Amino acid sequence: MGPGSIDDTITFYSELTASRTDGVDLETAAIYFNDVVGSAHAVNVAVGRRIGTYTSFQNHGSYFADLMMPQVPVTGLYGATSDPFVFNDNHNGVEVNGVLADRFDYSLGLAAGTNLDARNSANVYGHVGCKLGGSTLDGEHTGGVTQDLDHETSLTLDAFAYRSISRFTDASDPPALTKDTSVTFGGSIRAQRRELELDAGVVFQTDDHVSSTAPNTSTLSQWNELSYLIYPWLAVGARVECLRVAQDGASAVSDLKLLPGVVALVRPNLKLTLTASLEQATGLPAAGWGAAGLDAAPADAMSNVNLEIESVQLQLWAAF
């Protein structure tokens, strides 16, 4: 990670990852121009490679998963052999965002998306959010109320829309490129009462070509996460993720994932997580559930897998 500031209004952030299987990847590299015009926090501009702003809170706000909003590479579920497009992933682009009247925030963005040719996708998206009660979104005009958990009783509502075009290769028509146009709508809610927090959201996406031969496909992704801070360094809770994919003229397939867990910040830069993954599935897409990070494996599109333990993981995360 490489965060820093150039002056009081210009900051930057970069993240480089390395793994034995995927090699070295520049995941994030963006520069942020803050308070560009108008009142403080009203207009900011972000330029570079990053995940867009779709909620009032940062994307990695889950205790038990990498992202609060699950990533669903729909074309990957149907056999894309190139990197499948996911709207809530790191893409090159520019975004204007800000906070208005302390409790309303917005974002408008243009992103390059995923393509195997030289043409830009010109993906567009927008988001609006509102926070009722508790601390303000920008930390301003607090009315003398302390901005901490002991004074936090709030409800935050968010909604977003995203339109994308991606070009990819798939197993049914190599090496030609398949063009997929998708439209996505989503919303989320965060309810907080001191140390108790509930996050829930839903995303509905339509794709006209998840493969060169596939009909229109609709995807519904829904998630819920309940957590409680026993101590400032210890959280317990669970996630529930539901995924349903349906193609015109075919039966829908679905997967349900339960993820109970415990998270401990054993040192300021060391996080220890213990989670169990339980899944059940009804059918499966053409390429299986693996592209979405799911492990349930029915025999075919018409078979079922009852709720079963897929894994128990003990992980240690470090930041430097």
Phi, psi of 303 (to 5 degrees): -95, 160
The number of CA neighbours under 13 Å toward the Cβ of 128 is 1
Measure the CA–CA gap between 248 and 56, rounded to whole angstroms. 34
Q: What is the pLDDT of residue 1?
A: 59
Mark residue 194 as left, alpha or beta (left: phi above 0; alpha: psi -120 to 50; beta: remaining). left
Q: What is the pLDDT of residue 194?
A: 94
Two structure tokens written together for 14 = 């970069």
Q: Can you give the pTM of this predicted structure?
A: 0.89
Q: Which three-class secondary structure string do you get for 219-282?
A: EEEEEEEEEEEEECCEEEEEEEEEEEEEECCCCCEEEEEEEEEEEEEEECCEEEEEEEEEEEEE
Q: What is the pLDDT of residue 116?
A: 58
Q: What is the pLDDT of residue 57?
A: 93
**DSSP code, position 208:** S
Q: What is the pLDDT of residue 213?
A: 80
Q: What is the pLDDT of residue 206?
A: 96
Peptide bond into 175 cis (omega under 30): yes
Q: What is the pLDDT of residue 228?
A: 97
Measure the CA–CA gap between 148 and 168, rounded to whole angstroms. 46
Two structure tokens written together for 248 = 């015109």
Q: Which three-class secondary structure string do you get for 55-119?
A: CCCCCCCCCCCCCCCCCCCHHHHCCECCCCCCCCCCEEEEEEEEEECCCEEEEEEEECCCCCCCC
Per-domain boundaries in the chain: 34-230+240-248
Helix (H) or strand (E) holding 297: none
Q: What is the pLDDT of residue 282?
A: 94
CA triplet 243, 246, 248: central angle to 5 degrees? Answer: 170
| pLDDT by 10-residue block (mean), the chain, 320 residues | 80 76 76 91 94 92 92 89 85 94 95 71 92 91 80 95 88 75 96 96 94 87 97 95 92 95 91 95 90 88 89 86
